[in-house]
Amino acid sequence: MSPKTLYDKIWDAHVVDTQDDGTCLLYIDRHLVHEVTSPQAFEGLRMTGRTVRAPEKTIAVPDHNVPTTLDREKGIENEESRIQVEALDKNAKDFGVHYYPVSDIRQGIVHIVGPEQGWTLPGMTVVCGDSHTATHGAFGALAHGIGTSEVEHVLATQTLIQKKSKNMKVEITGKLRPGVTAKDITLSVIGATGTAGGTGYVIEYCGEAIRDLSMEGRMTVCNMAIEGGARAGLIAPDEKTFEYVKGRPHAPKGAQWEAALNWWKTLKTDEGAHFDKVVTLKGEDIAPVVTWGTSPEDVLPITAAVPSPEDFKGGKVEAAQRSLDYMGLKPGQKLTDIKIDTVFIGSCTNGRIEDLRAAAAILKGKKIKDGMRAMVVPGSGLVRAQAEEEGLAQIFLDAGFEWRLAGCSMCLAMNPDQLSPGERCAATSNRNFEGRQGRGGRTHLMSPAMAAAAAVTGHLTDVREMMNETV
């Protein structure tokens, strides 16, 4: 038998049917659902008299539209947002799927809730009408975003029509330097490969620096696989994975745990398996990075200066000029001279407990810059509770941050958490597109520690300088 990649193994275990032209029907183990991309799919089921084939494998939670202010029990002011969340309440009830409503402490961003509750397990296929479904790949699950038509298809059939992607290996060798995090890895990979570098591929991340990451860090890396164009990102499960999963509410128990573990341990790429594309970065070469433009590929080390459009080729010249105009930046300007109005810590990329710990470590005993707007939005109600228990919430509050309830919030600004035109934000989220955080808003992506540092100084800051201060 020829050697297989991890992706090959998970794929092969889920093929229901193969047509002559190679089009496959792939079985879906977990279907995660949120309020924005599902109403039309449930409506489609109603119109055709179809049901949800496997409600026990379908998990719904509202996250994009929910208010994150502490008065949330008052309800959602925006009528359309309210209708969308109410539609999910009704659809979850009518079709009998698992549901975490806004009032449930387990509510949060769907990609944080899934792993937290043990719905996401190694070797599974996981889909959601959301591009950041790639997050779940951190468990060695084949996980990717789908459109609403496909949401309806999965609801009705528990399968997806798919053609297999190619295999890509992204290896991060050696150790990371102090101040460098999972976010810096994933942004640096996109900076190196471009936002279309992964198109047509499923990426397996490997190497010592990836192995050294916690599960939270691995989720951050896989989360942004989509920003590199890949269908999915994967990391082979190991002891850290099993440790994280064990005991979670929906993880297997007893004899089933042992059986699962036996299979999960086989989920790794065989020696000599073929990758169609290989990218290798040295861990020690990765610096704390920020984005300067309006594409996640516009990544530079914090020590660099804003580039000039002439530094690029082809269509990117015009795009870079447009980005600079939009971002209000001049070529040659030092990145650390860029002043920040707002700091957003949260999102499915960096809204987990470890992210909050990293930000709090920088903020402890410090205050945010006068006039700065800063907020922390935990990824789930349980992350929020844990951060309060660990004393992190108090550190944020003492520093001058707002301490919010769980949701997607300012990552995509579908709820009232938005930037105003020209407002510049240091954000731990995943997209710096034009208008992403609010029309005319200017987003710089970075790690939680870097965002915390910017909150203190009022400008983009090399977190390593602040770490030296505290040592």
Among 58, 81, 241, 291, binds another protein (CB under 8 A): 81
Please report whether residue 49 would count as binding another protein according to CB under 8 A.
Answer: no
Smaller CB separation from another protein, 259 or 278: 259
Question: SS3 of 126, please?
Answer: strand
What distance in Å separates the CA atoms of residue 446 and residue 302, rounded to the nearest whole number?
10
Among 49, 249, 272, 314, binds another protein (CB under 8 A): 314
Eight-class DSSP state of 339: B
Tokens matching residue 75 = 């309800």
Closest distance to another protein from the beta carbon of 203 (Å): 12
Question: SS3 of 363, please?
Answer: helix
Among 55, 72, 87, 416, binds another protein (CB under 8 A): 87
Q: Pairing mode, if any, of strands 442-445 and 299-301?
A: unpaired
Polymer length in residues for the chain: 471
Please report whether residue 436 would count as binding another protein according to CB under 8 A.
Answer: yes
Please report whether residue 233 would count as binding another protein according to CB under 8 A.
Answer: no
Closest distance to another protein from the beta carbon of 106 (Å): 21
Smaller CB separation from another protein, 27 or 403: 27
Tell me the helices (H) and strands (E) count for the chain, helix number first: 17, 19
Annotate each residue in 248-287 with x if it binds another protein (CB under 8 A) or - if it does not, as one string.
Answer: ----x---xx-xx--x------------------------
Residues 368/374, Cβ–Cβ less than 8 Å: yes
Among 287, 306, 413, 452, binds another protein (CB under 8 A): 413
C-alpha pair distances (Å), 54 with each of 51, 252, 290: 9, 18, 42
**Run of H or E including 427:** strand 424-427
Smaller CB separation from another protein, 191 or 217: 191
Please report whether residue 51 would count as binding another protein according to CB under 8 A.
Answer: no
The count of residues interacting with another protein (CB under 8 A) is: 81
By CB under 8 A, the residues from 372 to 401 that bind another protein are: none
Tokens matching residue 198 = 């992964």
Span of 125-133, 335-343, 379-387, 451-459 interacting with another protein by CB under 8 A: 125-133
Among 5, 58, 65, 342, binds another protein (CB under 8 A): 65
Please report whether residue 309 would count as binding another protein according to CB under 8 A.
Answer: no
Among 33, 36, 286, 387, binds another protein (CB under 8 A): 36
Closest distance to another protein from the beta carbon of 162 (Å): 9
Span of 141-149, 171-179, 370-378, 386-394 interacting with another protein by CB under 8 A: 141-149
Closest distance to another protein from the beta carbon of 164 (Å): 12
Please report whether residue 439 would count as binding another protein according to CB under 8 A.
Answer: yes
Closest distance to another protein from the beta carbon of 412 (Å): 5
Please report whether residue 434 would count as binding another protein according to CB under 8 A.
Answer: yes
Among 4, 5, 7, 39, binds another protein (CB under 8 A): 39
Among 3, 16, 175, 422, binds another protein (CB under 8 A): 16
**Those residues with Cβ within 8 angstroms of residue 348's Cβ, 6 or more apart along the chain or in another chain:** 109, 110, 111, 112, 132, 135, 223, 379, 408, 411, 430
By CB under 8 A, the residues from 157 to 216 that bind another protein are: 157-159, 161, 163, 195-196, 199-200
Please report whether residue 25 would count as binding another protein according to CB under 8 A.
Answer: yes
408 known member of a binding site: yes
DSSP codes, 309-372: GGGS-THHHHHHHHHHHHHT--TT-BGGG-B-SEEEEEHHHH-SHHHHHHHHHHHTT--PPTT-
**Run of H or E including 429:** none
206 known member of a binding site: no
Amino acid occupying residue 336: T
Q: Which residues are 169's β-sheet partners? A: 204, 278
What distance in Å separates the CA atoms of residue 167 and residue 202, rounded to the nearest whole number?
5
Amino acid occupying residue 357: R
Tokens matching residue 18 = 């193969």
Smaller CB separation from another protein, 319 or 361: 319
Residues 448/354, Cβ–Cβ less than 8 Å: no
Please report whether residue 412 would count as binding another protein according to CB under 8 A.
Answer: yes
Annotate each residue in 320-339 with x if it binds another protein (CB under 8 A) or - if it does not, as one string.
Answer: --x-----------------
Please report whether residue 156 would count as binding another protein according to CB under 8 A.
Answer: yes
Smaller CB separation from another protein, 202 or 395: 202
Tokens matching residue 40 = 């039309």
First to last CA, the chain: 54
Closest distance to another protein from the beta carbon of 288 (Å): 24
348 known member of a binding site: yes
Please report whether residue 40 would count as binding another protein according to CB under 8 A.
Answer: yes
Torsion of CA 184, 189, 190, 196, to 10 degrees: -160
For 161, how many CA atoms within 13 A lie in the half-sphere containing its CB? 9
Residues 180/290, Cβ–Cβ less than 8 Å: no
Question: Which residues make up each annotated binding site for [4Fe-4S] cluster?
Answer: 348, 408, 411
